[in-house]
Amino acid sequence: MLAERVGGNWLMEIATIRRMAKRGTLEVEHLLRLAKAPSEELATNLGAIAAEMGWELGTQLPFVPFGDWVAVIQQFCRGGYDGLATYATQPSKFGFVIGLLEEVRGAHALLCAEQILNMQATTLVDDPERATKLAGAFSRLGGAMEKEAGYVAVEDIENVRAFLHAQVSSHPQEVGRAIAMGALRCFGDSESLALIRSAPQMADFWEPVRHGAIRTITKRLRRRSQAS
């Protein structure tokens, strides 16, 4: 029997997911929103829906891999952020973990992304695609440092910054360098400014990212200087 979430509409949400799945109107975002309140009950009920709908792991495009999305949510429900970081070491699961973290957001999601960086630092050097996905996650999750500053240590920020600097300096693709610049809006310091300014010219499409990063970092450093 479905368990009712305390203070929420658990039964209604699960029933809605099942109904949308049967109608063919379900989207990944609908599943990921449920992950913001992880529980064993959520994992069990999503597993039941996946079995009912015949969602399998490893579904190929153009079909939406709902089975894989359910699996990553179940991993989060049962293993927490540490479980997600370990799950992401499987190359085929990496993108699903990043997608979930970007939806959940918050300082804990940011620190999980950093844990993934620490666990895969060596392999990311030879995998530009995964490195770009992780840089993109830092860009989307970086706002947590302002809202939940007490949860993110200086060492964590420096670690992420060093990774992003390496991407700006040596990523083989322009898109990877640009996304890292965008993430430095949240993590950058004076060294980041110098690095971004001296980076090679990019296509017109990406140059606004560079200018936006420079502008944001400069404003933040100015505010800190005035406050000290």
pLDDT tens digits for range 154-167: 999 999 999 999 99
Residue bearing the bigger pLDDT, 213 or 11: 213
Structure tokens at 211: 């200018």
Question: Could you read off the pLDDT of 33-80 as tens digits, one per residue?
Answer: 999 999 999 999 999 999 999 998 887 767 899 999 999 999 999 999
pLDDT over threshold 50, residue 126: yes
pLDDT digits (tens, 9 = 90+) for 98-123: 999 999 999 999 999 999 999 999 99
Q: Is the pLDDT of residue 8 over 80?
A: no
pLDDT band per the 50, 70, 90 thresholds, residue 147: confident
191-208: b or e for each residue (b if 16 or more CB lie within 10 Å)? ebbebbeeeeebeeebee
How much is the pLDDT for 224? 83
Q: What is the pTM of this model?
A: 0.92
The predicted structure's pLDDT at residue 104:
95
Please indicate, yes or no, whether residues 139 and 225 belong to a single structural domain of this protein. yes
Do 181 and 155 sit in the same domain of this protein?
yes
Do 173 and 187 lie in one domain? The reply is yes
Residue 177 burial by Cβ neighbours in a 10 Å radius (0-12, 13-18, 19+):
buried
Is 113 within 8 Å of 134 (Cβ atoms)?
Answer: yes
pLDDT band per the 50, 70, 90 thresholds, residue 149: low
Considering the domain architecture, whether residues 130 and 193 belong to the same structural domain is answered as yes
What domain range includes position 192?
A: 105-228
The model's pLDDT over 160-211, given as tens digits with 9 standing for 90+, comes to 999 999 999 999 999 999 999 999 999 999 999 999 999 999 999 999 999 9
Same domain, 29 and 112: no
Q: What is the pLDDT of residue 225?
A: 84
Burial of 219 (0-12, 13-18, 19+ CB in 10 A): exposed
State whether 29 and 93 are in the same domain.
yes
Number of independent structural domains in the chain: 2
Burial track 164-173 (b if 16+ CB lie within 10 A, e otherwise): bbbbbeebee
Among the candidates 74, 104, 134, a domain finishes at: 104
